[in-house]
Amino acid sequence: MARLWVRGAMIVAVLAALGAVWFYQQITDLEVTEVGPFVHAIHGLGSNVGVLRTDAGAVVVDTMTFRTQGAQIRELAEELGGGPVQAIINTHYHLDHTHGNPAFPSGIRVVATERTRAYLDAVDADYWSGAAAGTLPNETFANQHEITIADKTLRLVHPGRGHTDGDLVVLFVEDRVLHTGDLFFNGRYPNIDLEAGGSVREWVATIDRVLELDFDRVIPGHGPVTDREGLRQFQTFMRQLANAGDEALRKGWSLEQTRTEATLDADEGYEVMAIPFVMRLDRDFVLKRAWEEVSGNFERISLPEGMK
């Protein structure tokens, strides 16, 4: 019997080691897409990262999920961006866009909206304790902000509620490239963070304001690089989803009725995003969020009085 226990323990240990190797390979497998002569996107397990090349060095938009990834992103950014990273921009507070920050030097310029910083403090304070605190956003704004680094201009805009109520988009002005963060999931079912002020119903108008900016190419928060038409397709999907929620409210549908009766066909070909036992973004999830918004069946994150 003892031998069986030993063999079982060995098998478990081997499987755990193989799982760890597989997981490490997944998080360190990064791919680079050239979006323009001075702009690249880095893809991996987590969000899409934008890298802008300037005469002074690199600017990085979002940093993925793990410090290991952040270290790789920093190395790639220095190579692609013409020198040391001059600034990080975090599009919103979720860990798959921010938790790579601590791989960068403490005190580096980190730009985000005021609400993104508030959510990081409110829901993720343990992660940002100690040395990591030196890579929290230290330059914040409410609605619009412009950054000039050497020969490049970056226009940062909070266009309204959608994914959360604190998201920003980044326009690389001279290169006519837009990084949307998670206000755009290209060919993927989106996360809708109602608890952090996200809104299915307001997302369409928010995209209208994004479309007023001057850009040709788009780096979405998740999915492949695309163009204005790709963003418009996603807006069509969000419009249908908002209509589904409004119909559920008018007709007094239950969640199950909403899932079975709502009209939603603009998601043809959309991919499910899932992490086993953690999250699953699919058709059922987005319809649930649309129903929860109109029914008020969710609880907002508590922020300081001035942020409510």
Reported as a single tens digit per residue, the pLDDT across 84-112 is 999 999 999 999 999 999 999 999 999 99
pLDDT over 50 at 114, yes or no? yes
Structure confidence at residue 27 (pLDDT): 65
Instruction: Give the pLDDT band (50/70/90) at residue 149.
Output: very high
The correct CATH number of 28-301+303-307 out of 3.40.640.10, 3.30.420.40, 3.60.15.10, 3.40.50.620 is: 3.60.15.10
Instruction: Give the lowest-confidence range in 192-196, 232-236, 277-281, 293-297.
Output: 277-281
| E strand spans, 158-295 | 169-172, 177-185, 217-222, 226-227, 273-275, 279-281
Contacts of 38 (CB under 8 A, 6+ apart): 52, 53, 54, 152, 172, 174, 175
Mean of per-residue pLDDT scores for the chain: 92
Instruction: Give the pLDDT band (50/70/90) at residue 276.
Output: confident
Q: How large is the average pLDDT for residues 224-239?
A: 98
Structure confidence at residue 26 (pLDDT): 57
Q: Which two tokens stand for residue 116?
A: 């993104």
Q: Cβ(45)–Cβ(226) under 8 Å? A: no
Greatest CA separation for the chain:
72
* Cα-Cα-Cα-Cα dihedral sign, residues 235, 241, 242, 244: positive
Q: What gap in Å lies between CA 210 and CA 91, rounded to an integer? A: 14
pLDDT over 80 at 244, yes or no? yes
pLDDT tens profile 175-189? 999 999 999 999 999
191-212 burial code (b ≥16 CB/10 A, e <16): bbbbebbbbbbbbbbbbeebee
Domain layout of the chain by residue ranges: 28-301+303-307
